[in-house]
Structures are given as structure tokens and as C-alpha cells.
Structure 1
Amino acid sequence: MIRKLLKRIPSPFGRPAHRRTTPAIIPASQHPVKRSQISRNAVTVVERLQQAGYQAFAVGGCVRDLLLELDPKDYDVATSATPEQVRSTFRNSRLIGRRFKLAHVHFGREIIEVATFRAAHAEDDDAAPGREHSLQSESGRLLRDNVYGSLEDDAQRRDFTINALYYDVCTGNIHDYVNGVQDIRNGRIRLIGHPVQRYQEDPVRMLRAIRFAAKLDFEIEPHTAAPITELAELLHDIPAARLFDEVLKLLLGGHGERTFDLLLEYDLFAPLFPDTDEAIDEQPDYTLKMIRQALRNTDQRIREGRPVTPAFLFAALLWPALPQRTRELEQQGIPLIPAQQQAAHELLAEQCRHTAIPKRFSIPLREIWDMQPRLERRNGRRADQMLEHPRFRAAYDFLLLREAAGEQTDGLGEWWTRYQDANAETRRRMIQQLGSGSGPRKRSRTPRKRKPSGGAQQ
């Protein structure tokens, strides 16, 4: 619907072009974004900055999403004020970031992110006096980007055209320097500037291209897509903690299955999950089926407004890489459960070098894995004890996921499904029917040696 509406907006460009010295200004009467749709706190920030004599606009994803009639998750503001000037304007703000310094203005639980207009990074020692140089690594990645500039400069250094739209809450006008409205109209993800250079400056832009394509059901423009496969290895230079945050955005945004397919298509999955990528090569049917089913379930829960946890999803993403490691340790004479625990420890340690999984997720992940072989041991009171475990439900759901992917468990999932709903008498019969192999074992008692009475302890 919104694309049909945007088609009625006269195109301000004779032909697609990235650089304009003056923006196309789209008046409020020619686009669907209304001031009333913008967060009241974001409007407050923009108005106060303008009243203080600075330029200020709502910018980026919030403008893009409102044009597409989507509900923005957060609101960003771009301004000519420096971070220090923003802080002096808002007592409820604090400065964050070293690589990219900006201000967070706090309104209860809502945070409005305020960034100063940036300019292209300085490449030589002749930069204007007082300007801070950008710092780059040998591969071209920006390590620090705090060179301030004009509104036009800021538009040119943003990543994608659809994220470089500036909405003036006072006039209702949208300022567009880079054909962003036209690319939204055409359903196209396009980088601003030279793709290779922009990916080298920040390789995470490759992941963002995938995320927006999946979320918005857009196509990645050919020149933007062309270098991705070749440059995928640049993700190894990104800090593991940052990649973990990016993976959450990729796979827990409600479009995880589509995102996963695009990551595979552009060879971006391997830098994020190298061991799982090897498992895809070795057991493609099982591994792909398990991951896609887990992502499909996650997407469905998000659509229904139900909670999701990264622990369960990461457990599913990494599980296909675990059995081979476990078997190798069993061949060394280590029993199954200790072998799996050691294999899990090694696998997670290696994975954290690529995406740093915090302990609040890795600990429940390990518990889900550790409970898988224990679900088979149902004799005596073990079944009832398992039901009382706080991770039982997650472990049970994970068992069903393994079976759906094709693992043979001799009906273990169906057994646990019936056991949960059974009364005490039925449960007792179910345990008895397991047979002597899984039934309670009689302990052989060895007579204890009695100590001599009456004497002092030696």
C-alpha cells in the first residue's frame, strides 16, 4: 500500500544519484508520515535542540519504518550540536561510545539516541584545525569516527539510502539527499558510496544489508550485493561481543528463517558460526532442517507476542556441531555424559571467539544440552525429578526439535508428552513398562566393617 502511495510522489531526481548538494525536500502533503506518529520524547528532543539554535531531525530507521507503515522500535535524532552541547542542553542525558561518540537522552525507559552530523573521515594530516581524525585499521575498518560535518555530509556517510532520510518534526518535511524515498518505493537496499570501501570501513554493514532485506522484503541492489561474498572474511576482525549483538538483531527480529537463508547465500554464516557451517557441509539435510525449524518456531513466537530466549536458539544453532565432538571423546573411553559435557565446553569456548555468548545465555544453553541424554534415563524417580527441573520445558521442547529434524530417539518425545499429562498411577505403569533395562536397579549391599567399640579414635 505504501509503495503505491509513494509512487504518486513526483520523483525529485532525473536519474538515480547518490550525491546531491541540496536535498530533495518532500513536503508533508506528499508523504504519509505524521508528527503524531513520532515518539513524543523524540519530538521534545528535536524541538529543544532547534530552540537552542541547532539543526535537528528525526532520522534513519524510524523515518523509513513510518514510510512503510511499520512501528519503529526506537527513535534516533541527528543534529548539528556536538555531544557535549547535547549534554549541556539535556540534564537527563549522558555521553556514550568511543569509536562513535553520541548522546543518550533518557525519558524513563525510553532512550532517544542523538548523534552529531558526521563528515567523511580525514585521510591525511591536512584536516581542518580542531577536527578529530578518524582512525582506521590496516583493512580499512573505522576504529574511530568522530569527524563532525554538515547535514549534507551526514547524509553521504550513512550506510544505506533508506536510512538517510531526515524528518523535520516542525515542518513535516522529509530531506532526502540520496534517493532514499525512491529506493523505498522500489524495495531496494542500496549502499551510499563505493560498496567495497563502505564494507571495509565497517564489515557489519554486510550483516545490516541482510537484515534489512529480510525484514522489509527488499532486494539488495546488485552493486551493493556484489562484493559481500568476497569480503565476508572481514567479519573476523569485528569484536565478538559486537557480533553477538548483531546476531540477535538478525535472528530474533521475527524474520530469522529468511535471514538465515540470505546469510548462507552470501557466505556470511560461516564467519558467525564456523563449526555449524562445517556441520552443514557434513550433514546438510539434518543440520539445515533443525536450524530452519528452530528459526521458524522463533519467528512464530515473535509474531504471537510470546517470549523468546537466545539460549534456546543458540542451543539449536550449535547442536549439530556437538555430536561429532562427543563421539570422538567417547572413542577415547570417556562415558557419554562427561564426553558431551567436555565437548560442549570446547564448542562454546570456540564459538565465543566469534560471537561472545554471555553467561546468562550460555549457562541455560548448557543445561538444555546436558539434559538431553538425561531425558533417556527415566527409571525410578528420575522421571519425576526431571519434571521438577526448571529447564525441563526447554529441554523437552529441544528434544522435540531434534526429532523433527530427523533424529531417532525411539519415541522419547512422545513418551515425555504422555508422561507430563498422566496421573500418578499411569506414570507408575509407564515406568514399569520401560523394562528391566530402564527399570529401577537393586543395589547390592556390601557388609560394612564395624569399628571396635569403646576405644579412642586413632
Structure 2
Amino acid sequence: MRPFRRGSSTAVQRRIIPRDQHNISRKDFSRAALHVLYGLKDAGYDAYLVGGCLRDLLTGIKPKDFDVVTNATPEQIERVFRGARIIGRRFRLVHVRFKGDVIEVATFRALAGDDDHDDHLSRRSANGQILRDNVYGTIEEDALRRDFTCNALYYDIADFSLHDFADSLHDIEQRTLRLIGDPEQRYYEDPVRMIRAVRFAAKLDFDIDPDTEAPLSRLAPLLQQVPPARLFEEVLKLFLSGHGQRTFAILQRYGLFDALFPTTAEALADEDGASDLKLIHAAMRNTDQRLAQDKPVTPAFLFAVLLWPVLRRRLAFYLDHGMPPMQAMNKAAGQIMAEQVSVIAIPRRFSTVVREMWDLQLRLPRRAGNRAEQLMQHPRFRAAYDFLLLREEAGEIKPGLGEWWTRYQEAHPVDRDTLLASLSRRDSEPGAPRKRRRRRRRGGAGNQAGDGE
């Protein structure tokens, strides 16, 4: 059986794999997932695990989330479980809470036909993008509206069998990522599917099927139609799931990074983009390592790195035109953030941290007197220091400053005085912007020595 195409005259073929012919076991499911599955079954409804959790189990990955589908409506689901809440307008779902975990439960859906104009249930934009999808259907119809074949497996709690509607097991075994239906139509329905294709290919180390791959570069501009708030969440999934370096490379291959970070893509393409590209790869590698070690990561660091190539150029422009360093930084950072949030809605709680990290790149070279101690007390010092190390690793700035800060943090107070005494006179005074001789002012901000010298 080959993957079906939605809208074709060929009937959906369900392949049922009994429990003794697959290796997925209930012991691999969370208690919350079992609570929901059996709760629905005992209430007389069909209940299935679906999608990513099954795909991950079959590829040797421990699932983080368990999604459930059922023939019960959201209102019926809400009546079954005490800790249930209906959410969403675009897709109405139910969140069921159980002992601190949340299980997402959806009703079987069927995509409405193109002539369905009932705005209460389903609505599309002029170019076919799905704006609302609350038309309920059968499990066969639900399988048709899944995005990729690897996500179209269903586990039946009634008899522990797997239900395969799209040759899902074959594609998982072949490590192939394939869209269900016509790829171009599916991307028009929801452009975020292009991002999901990259994310799954990177996470699962799957090859993208040629038909699924073919429209990506041409349709990348469709991402401009996606609400910026939704793209923010998708970008976090792309880069903060432990496979950021591979994800970044695939995004670049298909021009999808250009659609998400247009000004950064433009900067990377110029003659000075090599060190910026090294910086981004180093940051992605560092983030992947931290996630593998269960260390915390912050979206602010991600955006600080991804937008730094633009900031570096904009800052140099203003400095070369005689603007004082901190004024130039504030102007450049404000412009860049305003441009980027029109594409990806970076919340203020993160954009503020990004700008503080950038500001500290100008201040970290100025360590004399009590400046070093004051900088270490800054709440963003550690993030800015890590950023500085990556800039040195990428070859953007000469090595030495990062090592000095490493030694200073680890040193005894007496030894810190020795480190400060060893600084040159230039490190003891506020400097001038590069290539311009300006009269020094008492208490003036440091220059961008850490920004390209």
C-alpha cells in the first residue's frame, strides 16, 4: 500500500497491526495518557493515541507528549474528566490535567470541502490557507488531514492494536518524511508545515521525500502569511529541541531561514558573513550540547545570536558616522527588533534581555577600576560572557578578552586585583569608536572593541 492522496477517488485502506506484531507497549505511556485513554473507553467512546508519540517510540526516542483522539466531542470530553478545559478557536481541543501532566485530546476531524462556507466550523483564506477547522468526522477522515505519514499512526486502547492508514510504518522504517496528499496544496493550507518538515527531518534524521521537498524553496514566502506570534512558538521548537545546528542547515538549504530572518539572511550573504555563520553554528552546537545535558537554555540567547549579524553592521554604520557608542547601540537595536517582530513576535520579556546582552558586548572590554566587579553583578553578565566566548570562537574578535573574564571570575579577590593591575592604559579609560578620534568624556561608555577589532 502506498501513501494515499487526499481528494483522490481511492478509498482509504486501514491496515490493522495486532499487538503481537508491533513493539509498542502501554508501559511506554505516561500515567496521564493511560488515564485519559481508559477514561474515554470506559465512558463508551473510541480512544486512540496518535502521531508523534508513536512515531518517536518506533524510532527509539522517548516521547515528551502524548496526544489522544476520540469520537467524543469537546463538550463530551469535558464532561468525562474533572480536570478538562476546552481551548482554541482555530482548532478546538481539550486539555485534560492529571497529576500535573496535561494531555491534549482532539475530536476526529474531517477537512471541509472548498464549497463549505460555514465560518462557525471551517474557514479558509483566498489562497486556501486553513483559518479554522472544527468539522468533525471519522477516524479515516482524521487520518487524511494529518500532515506527514509518520504522524498518521493510531494506537487503539481497546485491543492494543496499531491502525495504519498511510503506509506509516513503511515510511518510518525507511526513515522517509512524506506529506499526505498533494504537497503544494498542503503547504498552502498551512505554511507552517514547511517548518515542521524541517524540524522532523532534523529531529528524526529522516530524508524528505522528493515530492514533499520540491515546493519548499518556491513556497517559502508563504511563511509571511503566518501570524508572527505563531512563528515565535515554531522557531522555539526548531532551535530549542536539541537539533538546532542540523535544523539551521536545512532551513538555509530551502530558503526558509530567509523567510524567518530576512535581515540576518541578507547579512550572511555579504562578504563579511563567514564569521557570522561560524558564530551561529557555534551557538547552535553549544545549545544542542546544553539541552543534551539537561542544562537550561533561554530564547533570548537564541535571538541575540541570530540577529547579531544585522546588529553588528548597523552599529558599525552609526559609529562610522560619528554617533557615540551607546547611542548607536540603542538606535541600531531598536530598529532591528522592530523589523524582526513584524515577522516573529519576540515577547518583550525576551527582547529586553537580548538588548541587555548586546549592550554588555560594548562594556565587557572596559574592566579597569571597579567596572569589572560592577559588570559581574549585572543580571545578564553570564549570558553576555557566554556570547563573548562564542564570538571569539567564531573568529569575529581576537582571543584574549574571554580568557581574561574566565580567569577573573575564578580568581581569589587578591588575584583579581593583580588581573586588574595588568590591564593596559587603554583598558583603564573609556575609549573612542574605532577609526575615529573623539575627545574623551568622563564616565563615557566603552567602544565596540569587542565588536570587530
TM-score by length of 2: 0.90
Quote the residue 1:422 is aligned against: 411
Distance 2:120 2:420 in 1: 72
Distance 2:152 2:429 in 1: 67
Does the 8 A contact of 1:20 with 1:178 survive in 2?
no
Query: How is 1:195-274 mapped onto 2 (pairs within 5 angstroms)?
Result: 195-274=183-262
Q: Please state how far the C-alpha of 1:21 moved relative to its aligned partner.
A: 3.1
Quote the residue 1:90 is aligned against: 81
RMSD, aligned CA = 2.0
Quote the residue 1:21 is aligned against: 12
Quote the residue 2:435 is aligned against: none
| Change beyond 3 A, Cα 1:393–1:22 | same
Distance 2:3 2:361 in 1: 55
Q: Choose 1 or 2 for highest CA Rg.
A: 1
Equivalent residue in structure 2 for 1:75, among 59, 66, 71: 66
Distance 1:284 1:97 in 2: 42
Q: Answer yes or no: is 1:277 the counterpart of 2:265.
A: yes
Secondary structure of the corresponding residue to residue 127 of structure 2: coil
Gaps of 5+ in 1: 1-12, 445-458
Distance 1:360 1:122 in 2: 42
Does the 8 A contact of 2:392 with 2:399 survive in 1?
no
| Change beyond 3 A, Cα 1:202–1:307 | same
Q: Please state how far the C-alpha of 1:294 moved relative to its aligned partner.
A: 0.2
| Change beyond 3 A, Cα 1:312–1:379 | same
Quote the residue 1:309 is aligned against: 298
Distance 1:38 1:20 in 2: 32
Distance 2:3 2:354 in 1: 48
Equivalent residue in structure 1 for 2:112, among 111, 121, 139: 121
Q: Answer yes or no: is 1:337 the counterpart of 2:326.
A: yes
Quote the residue 2:448 is aligned against: none
- Structure 2 counterpart of 1:239, one-letter code: P
Residues 361-380 of structure 1 deviation map (CA, whole Å, 9 limit, x = unaligned): 21221111111110111121
Residues 251-296 of structure 1 deviation map (CA, whole Å, 9 limit, x = unaligned): 1111100000000011100111111101110133112101000000
| Change beyond 3 A, Cα 1:413–1:26 | same
Does the 8 A contact of 2:3 with 2:180 survive in 1?
no
Q: Please state how far the C-alpha of 1:440 moved relative to its aligned partner.
A: 6.2
- Structure 1 counterpart of 2:43, one-letter code: A
Q: Please state how far the C-alpha of 1:416 moved relative to its aligned partner.
A: 1.4
Secondary structure of the corresponding residue to residue 111 of structure 1: strand
Quote the residue 1:138 is aligned against: 126
- Structure 2 counterpart of 1:25, one-letter code: I
Q: Please state how far the C-alpha of 1:400 moved relative to its aligned partner.
A: 0.7
Q: Please state how far the C-alpha of 1:315 moved relative to its aligned partner.
A: 0.8
Distance 1:344 1:278 in 2: 17
Secondary structure of the corresponding residue to residue 113 of structure 2: coil
Quote the residue 2:349 is aligned against: 360
Distance 1:78 1:436 in 2: 68
Q: Please state how far the C-alpha of 1:422 moved relative to its aligned partner.
A: 2.5
Equivalent residue in structure 2 for 1:286, among 257, 275, 280: 275
Secondary structure of the corresponding residue to residue 106 of structure 1: strand
Distance 2:396 2:264 in 1: 17
Q: Please state how far the C-alpha of 1:423 moved relative to its aligned partner.
A: 2.8
Does the 8 A contact of 1:55 with 1:80 survive in 2?
yes
